[in-house]
Structure 1
Amino acid sequence: MAGAPLHVLAGALRDREGRVLLAERPAGKHLAGLWEFPGGKREPGEAPLAALARELDEELGVALVDAEPLIRVPWHYHERELLLDAWCVTQWRGEPRPLEGQGLQWCLPMQADPATLAPADRAILQALRLPPHYLVTPADVLPAERELWLEQIGRAIEAGERLLQLRLPRWPREEVREFAAALLPSARRHGAQLLLNADIEGAQALGVGVHLTGAQLAALAERPLPLLQVVGASCHDAVQLAQALRVGADFASLSPVAVTASHPQAAPLGWGSFQALAEAAAMPVYALGGMTPAQLAQARAAGAQGVAGIRGFWPAP
């Protein structure tokens, strides 16, 4: 029988400018030359937060003051199975120093290159990059409502929303692409990310993200976009979540958590099943299906990156 996974703590130290600290894995170690979030193994009987505090003291010479859970990443490196338990560290005492001879760098999460990180640490980076809300346009929006929804989405971006999916099945594909292009200047100015629903080619052409359908996800053998263009995936079970990880998706939406008006026949997962699936997913997962922004705290307590939704996230036109 396989033993318990190796429990590894990682700390995302975040300064007042929003930058996070990355450490370079030294020569001679596994994955040497790649960057990671500082931390290390939990000792037997040691509480997770105590292990993180000890590792940060040993590696960086800082004293942990305050941290909160960020994401737990189950991972396999060849024969080794580990649980990478990441915390967002917002307060510490002391100036981080490379006490183990490792390289150190501060960078904004959106400016870090995922290709330079150890594979398991890329999920931590995405958890830092992704916002708590994921807005999806209603499926019944008509092309005639283009100007209205340009205004709606523009207002949402101005109000602070940073992740939006354009799911417009009643529109010709070329009109959706033109619509996304019209929104891009505002999105880029505010650091918001747009995703096209199912349109990989359009996302490639525009330099935006894509949200994969379940059918697309099943047919893919590799990541459909470069690492700097976000890839989301629609998932409903563990098999789809595992496939999303295999093809290199940055996050998944997992649904339905609750009963929804749009799919009343679909059996809801409930929070217990959602949590079990999300914690085994090795990537950020949004709770979708019957969600509103008011359920964010409940979703976070169940291991979600945040909440995703359609009607409950848009004001009435």
Structure 2
Amino acid sequence: MPASTKANASTKVVNVAVAVIYYKNCYLLGFRHAAQHQGNLYEFVGGKIEAQEGAERALIREVAEETGINVDDNLMVKLGRIHHDYGDKQVSLQVYQVELIAEQYEQHKLAEYGLEGQALKWVDKRALLAGEYPLPAANRTILQWLQLPPAIAITYPLAHFGGHTDPAAAWLAYHQQHLLPSAWVYVRLKDASVSRADRTITQLMQQRPDIQVILPLTDGSLSSAEIRDTLTSQALMTHPSISAYHLTHTELLHWQHSQYGQTAAADSIPAGQPLIVSCHNAESIAAANQLARMRIQQQLPPVIGIFVSPVLSTQTHPDTAPLGWQAWSALTKLADMPVIGLGGLSPSMIDKAKQYGGVSVAGIRQFL
């Protein structure tokens, strides 16, 4: 075993609870002293999880010790887990999003220093996501997670417009008109040729430049080699409106069980864009976690979320038994990335989804 491998294997992993504290579009950051590890960088509030201490209890304690804010009664939603190797130190971050109420924000918004003497700063979300406040490398994935909106629309398949003379034109006209301003949209035509799908999706993005698009990796019928050949030929991949690519449950498990599960993810999955994957059970969530770790290790855009479905019964799959909120919540606890509820939901259910461990909800009928 090479010396560097031995050193890494013997390096103790520091388990850290991280609180992404926010009120509306304002986020709380601390500033690390120059003498500290990863000094002269901003960071989210948090600290080491002590022995026999759970992550949520550690988070409550660290927030109180560092800022004086008592978040014992605040809603905490797990964003995910991140393992990062700095070379001289390994950290495992358990990241939670903590929303303050108005009274808490008003009480602490003018504090320039924390209880441990560290500088504190409330920053605008847009500036934070734009990278205006440099963070340690292990924290950068969190910024990708924070881009997820509370609601994601899913387009109707092309077959839904089969009664029209030109289904693609009807599909385009409908979604151009009904998508909400600045919406995140999972665009899926299903069963359309690659050229037809590319043309129709490109037209939608041209006509609605305000939307952010999630694209399917394939129509589900291609092999890994064909996926790679198809993707490299698509100019669509670099379009600025594309926020992520989507892997179906089947494609995710295929990746895990293929040779690509043991080698570079970029061989069969786009390397230049973040990913969102679909999961239905503990096995697929474990595969998503494996893919997420590999992406971080290879310094590729991360897995920014998973659809876990179906939460409730749906019109499109009436014979599929829904998970229900309790079983869905149990699955969210297994995920190393933010969870998006899907199946029988509406945008108004976002608060309930947060109570059960999700950060976003998605669907078709109620989201257009």
What TM-score do you get using the length of structure 1 for normalisation?
A: 0.74
Post-superposition offset of 1:194: 0.5
| 1:266 paired to 2:320 | yes
| 1:83 paired to 2:94 | yes
Post-superposition offset of 1:281: 0.9
| 1:170 paired to 2:170 | no
Within 2, Cα distance between the matches of 1:39 and 1:187?
Answer: 40
Alignment of 1:152-301 (within 5 A): 152-157=174-179, 159-160=180-181, 162-185=183-206, 187-188=208-209, 190=210, 192-199=211-218, 200-201=231-232, 202=234, 204-207=237-240, 208=242, 209-218=244-253, 219=255, 221-222=264-265, 224-225=269-270, 229-244=273-288, 245-246=292-293, 247=295, 248-301=302-355
Unaligned runs of 5+ in 1: 58-62
CA 178–271 in structure 1, closer or farther in 2 if over 3 Å, else same:
same
CA 36–177 in structure 1, closer or farther in 2 if over 3 Å, else same:
farther
Within 2, Cα distance between the matches of 1:211 and 1:181?
Answer: 17
Deviates more, 1:147-156 or 1:112-121: 112-121
Post-superposition offset of 1:74: 3.7
> What do residues 189-237 of structure 1 show as CA deviations (whole Å, max 9, x unaligned)?
x3x310111245545232413111223324254364466x442111112
CA 172–142 in structure 1, closer or farther in 2 if over 3 Å, else same:
farther
CA 274–147 in structure 1, closer or farther in 2 if over 3 Å, else same:
same
CA 271–24 in structure 1, closer or farther in 2 if over 3 Å, else same:
same
Tell me the SS of whatever aligns to 1:40: strand
> What do residues 146-188 of structure 1 show as CA deviations (whole Å, max 9, x unaligned)?
343334333444x345210111113222222222222324554
What TM-score do you get using the length of structure 2 for normalisation?
A: 0.65
Within 1, Cα distance between the matches of 2:349 and 2:123?
Answer: 36
| 1:56 paired to 2:67 | yes
Unaligned runs of 5+ in 2: 1-13, 219-230, 296-301
| 1:12 paired to 2:21 | yes
Tell me the SS of whatever aligns to 2:153: strand
Does the 8 Å CA contact 1:72/1:279 hold for their aligned counterparts? no
Tell me the SS of whatever aligns to 1:141: helix
Match of 2:149 among 131, 135, 140: 131
CA 114–97 in structure 1, closer or farther in 2 if over 3 Å, else same:
closer
Match of 2:118 among 94, 97, 100: 100
Within 1, Cα distance between the matches of 2:38 and 2:46?
Answer: 15
Post-superposition offset of 1:51: 4.0
Equivalent residue number for residue 39 of structure 1: 46
Within 1, Cα distance between the matches of 2:121 and 2:352?
Answer: 38
Within 1, Cα distance between the matches of 2:362 and 2:214?
Answer: 13
Tell me the SS of whatever aligns to 1:257: coil
Tell me the SS of whatever aligns to 2:251: helix
The number of residues matched between the two structures is 298
The structure that has the greater radius of gyration is 2
CA 153–238 in structure 1, closer or farther in 2 if over 3 Å, else same:
same
Amino acid at match of 2:359: Q
Amino acid at match of 1:146: A
Amino acid at match of 2:330: A
Within 2, Cα distance between the matches of 1:112 and 1:156?
Answer: 32
Tell me the SS of whatever aligns to 1:300: helix
Equivalent residue number for residue 60 of structure 1: none
Q: Please report the RMSD computed on the Cα atoms of aligned residues, expressed in angstroms.
A: 3.9
Within 1, Cα distance between the matches of 2:309 and 2:132?
Answer: 30
Tell me the SS of whatever aligns to 1:282: coil
Does the 8 Å CA contact 1:9/1:42 hold for their aligned counterparts? no
Identical aligned pairs, as a percentage? 26
